[in-house]
Amino acid sequence: MKSHATSRFIPVIRAIFIRMLLISCVLLLGAAPMAAQTADVTGFWVLNVPTGDGNFTKTFFDLQQSGEKVTGAAWFNYRKSPISDGSFIGGLLHLTVSLSPVDPRRQALYDGALQGDKIRMAVHFPGRDVAVGFAERTTQAAVVPPPPLPVPALHDVPDNGLALTPPMGWNSWNKFHRNIDDVTVRGIADAMVASGMRDVGYTYINIDDTWEGPRDAQGNITGNLKFPNMKGLADYVHSKGLKIGIYSSPGPQTCAGYEGSYGHEDQDAKTYAAWGFDYLKYDWCSAGRIYKESDMQAVYQKMGDALLASGRPMVFSLCQYGRGDVWKWGAKVGGNLWRTTGDINDHWQRMAEIGFSQFLIASYTRAGHWNDPDMLEIGNGGMTADEYRTHMSLWSLLAAPLLAGNDLRSMSEETKSILMNTEVIAIDQDADAQPVKKISEQGPLTVAARPLMHQTWAVGLFNRGEETAKMSVTWKDLGLHGKLQVRDLWAHKELGRVADQFSADVPPHGVVLITVKH
What residues are annotated to the active site? 283, 343
Residues in the interface with ligand GLA (CB under 6 A) total: 9
Q: Interface with ligand GLA includes 428 (CB under 6 A)?
A: no
Stretch that binds ligand GLA, among 50-58, 146-154, 236-244, 253-261 (CB under 6 A): 253-261
Minimal distance, residue 326 CB to ligand GLA, in Å: 13
Helix (H) or strand (E) holding 113: strand 107-115
Question: How many angstroms separate the CA atoms of 338 and 315, rounded?
Answer: 11
**Interface mask toward ligand GLA for 207-226; x: CB under 6 A:** -xx-----------------
- Print burial letters for 167-195: b (CB count within 10 Å at least 16), e (below 16): bbbbbbbbbbebebbbebbbebbbbbeeb
Minimal distance, residue 390 CB to ligand GLA, in Å: 21
User: Do the beta carbons of residue 256 and residue 77 sit within 8 Å?
Assistant: no
In 3D space, the residue among 443, 433, 408, 426 whose CA is nearest the CA of residue 197 turns out to be 408
Question: How many angstroms separate the CA atoms of 499 and 56, rounded?
Answer: 65
DSSP code, position 510: -
Stretch that binds ligand GLA, among 58-66, 254-262, 347-355, 414-422 (CB under 6 A): 254-262
In 3D space, the residue among 461, 454, 433 whose CA is nearest the CA of residue 362 turns out to be 433
State which residue, 22 or 400, has the beta carbon closest to ligand GLA.
400
State which residue, 265 or 283, has the beta carbon closest to ligand GLA.
283
User: Do the beta carbons of residue 128 and residue 38 sit within 8 Å?
Assistant: no
State which residue, 254 or 463, has the beta carbon closest to ligand GLA.
254
Q: Applying CB under 6 A, which of residues 256, 318, 361, 489 lies at the interface with ligand GLA?
A: 256
Helix (H) or strand (E) holding 361: none
Question: Would you put residue 340 in left (φ > 0), alpha (ψ -120 to 50) or beta?
Answer: alpha
Minimal distance, residue 254 CB to ligand GLA, in Å: 6
Q: Interface with ligand GLA includes 173 (CB under 6 A)?
A: yes
Minimal distance, residue 218 CB to ligand GLA, in Å: 26
Minimal distance, residue 374 CB to ligand GLA, in Å: 7
State which residue, 371 or 434, has the beta carbon closest to ligand GLA.
371
Q: Interface with ligand GLA includes 346 (CB under 6 A)?
A: no
State which residue, 122 or 318, has the beta carbon closest to ligand GLA.
318
Q: Applying CB under 6 A, which of residues 122, 135, 255, 326 lies at the interface with ligand GLA?
A: 255
Q: Interface with ligand GLA includes 386 (CB under 6 A)?
A: no
Q: Applying CB under 6 A, which of residues 55, 206, 254, 286 lies at the interface with ligand GLA?
A: 254
User: Do the beta carbons of residue 375 and residue 173 sit within 8 Å?
Assistant: yes
Three-state secondary-structure class, residue 477: helix
Bridge partners of residue 473, in order along the sequence: 502
Q: How many residues does the chain have?
A: 518
Stretch that binds ligand GLA, among 136-144, 251-259, 349-357, 433-441 (CB under 6 A): 251-259
Q: Interface with ligand GLA includes 283 (CB under 6 A)?
A: yes
Burial class (CB in 10 A: 0-12, 13-18, 19+), 259: buried
Give the footprint of ligand GLA on this chain (CB under 6 A): 173, 208-209, 254-256, 283, 319, 343
